[in-house]
Chains A and B, each alone.
Chain A
Amino acid sequence: MEQTVKNPANGAPDYNFAYLDEQTKRMIRRALLKAVAIPGYQVPFAGREMPMPYGWGTGGVQVTAAVIGPNDTLKVIDQGADDTTNAVSIRQFFAKTAQVATTEKTAEASIIQTRHRIPEKELREDQVLVYQVPIPEPLRFLEPRETETRKMHALEEYGLMHVKLYEDISRHGHIATTYAYPVMVDDRYVMDPSPTPKFDNPKMNNMAALQLFGAGREKRIYALPPYTKVKSLDFEDHPFEVQTWEDECGMCGARDSYLDEVILDDQGNRMFVCSDTDYCAERQEAGHRGPQHHDQPLGTADRGKAAE
Chain B
Amino acid sequence: MTQMNEPLLRVEDLTMMYGDRVGCKDVSFELRPGEVLGIVGESGSGKSTLLRSISAQQEPTNGTVEYQTRIDGVRDVYQMSEAQRRLLMRTDWAFVHQNPRDGLRMNVSAGANIGERLMAIGDRHYGNIRNNADSWLGKVEIASERLDDLPSTFSGGMQQRLQIARNLVTSPRLVFMDEPTGGLDVSVQARLLDLLRGLVHDLNLAVIIVTHDLAVARLLSHRLMVMQQGKVIEHGLTDQVLDDPQHPYTQLLVSSILQN
Q: Judge if B178 is at the interface, Cβ distance under 8 Å.
A: no
- Closest B residue to A238 by beta carbon equals B126
Interface-facing stretch out of B69-77, B108-116, B204-212: B108-116
Closest beta carbon of chain B to A292's beta carbon, Å:
40
Residues A159 and B130 in contact in the complex (CB < 8 Å), given A170-B148, A236-B124: no
A167 to B86, CA, bound (A): 24
Q: Judge if B215 is at the interface, Cβ distance under 8 Å.
A: no
The answer to whether A166 and B115 have CB atoms under 8 Å apart is yes
The contact size tier of chain B is 20 to 34
- Closest A residue to B130 by beta carbon equals A170
A163 to B114, CA, bound (A): 10
Q: Judge if B120 is at the interface, Cβ distance under 8 Å.
A: yes
Q: Judge if A9 is at the interface, Cβ distance under 8 Å.
A: no
The answer to whether A170 and B86 have CB atoms under 8 Å apart is no
Within 112-130 of B, Cβ neighbours of A (below 8 Å) are at 112, 115-122, 124-127, 129-130
**Out of B82, B86, B108, B125, which one reaches A163, CB within 8 Å?**
B108
- Closest A residue to B113 by beta carbon equals A163
The residues of B that contact A238 with a CB separation of less than 8 Å are 126
The contact size tier of chain A is 20 to 34
**Out of A155, A163, A166, A169, which one reaches B83, CB within 8 Å?**
A155
The residues of A that contact B105 with a CB separation of less than 8 Å are 142, 163
A to B contact number (C-beta, < 8 Å): 59
Q: Judge if A162 is at the interface, Cβ distance under 8 Å.
A: yes
A156 to B122, CA, bound (A): 11
A162 to B129, CA, bound (A): 11
Closest beta carbon of chain B to A34's beta carbon, Å:
22
What are 5 A-B interface contacts by the 8 Å CB criterion? A163-B105, A163-B112, A166-B119, A170-B111, A234-B124
Q: Judge if A235 is at the interface, Cβ distance under 8 Å.
A: yes
**Out of A157, A160, A236, which one reaches B125, CB within 8 Å?**
A236
The answer to whether A237 and B125 have CB atoms under 8 Å apart is yes
**Out of B125, B127, B148, which one reaches A171, CB within 8 Å?**
B148
A135-175 CB contact bits vs B (8 Å, 1 = yes)?
00000001000000001000111011011101101110000
Best-buried of A151, A155, A234, A238 by chain B (most CB within 10 Å): A155
The answer to whether B125 and A166 have CB atoms under 8 Å apart is no
The answer to whether A169 and B119 have CB atoms under 8 Å apart is no
Q: A166-B129, A235-B125 are in contact. List 9 more A-B contacts (CB 8 A).
A: A151-B82, A156-B83, A159-B118, A162-B119, A162-B124, A163-B108, A166-B112, A170-B148, A237-B127
Closest beta carbon of chain B to A150's beta carbon, Å:
12
Closest beta carbon of chain B to A306's beta carbon, Å:
45
The residues of A that contact B82 with a CB separation of less than 8 Å are 151, 155
A238 to B148, CA, bound (A): 18
The residues of A that contact B121 with a CB separation of less than 8 Å are 159
**Out of A155, A166, A236, A237, which one reaches B86, CB within 8 Å?**
A155
A235 to B127, CA, bound (A): 9
Closest beta carbon of chain A to B98's beta carbon, Å:
21
Best-buried of B118, B124, B125 by chain A (most CB within 10 Å): B124
A118 to B83, CA, bound (A): 36
A234-252 CB contact bits vs B (8 Å, 1 = yes)?
1111100000000000000
- Closest A residue to B120 by beta carbon equals A159
Within 38-94 of A, Cβ neighbours of B (below 8 Å) are at none
The residues of A that contact B122 with a CB separation of less than 8 Å are 159
Residues A167 and B126 in contact in the complex (CB < 8 Å), given A155-B86, A157-B86, A159-B119: no
The residues of A that contact B86 with a CB separation of less than 8 Å are 155, 157
- Closest B residue to A152 by beta carbon equals B86
A170 to B108, CA, bound (A): 10
Residues A163 and B116 in contact in the complex (CB < 8 Å), given A157-B86, A170-B109: yes
A283 to B50, CA, bound (A): 71
The answer to whether A169 and B126 have CB atoms under 8 Å apart is yes
The residues of A that contact B148 with a CB separation of less than 8 Å are 170-171
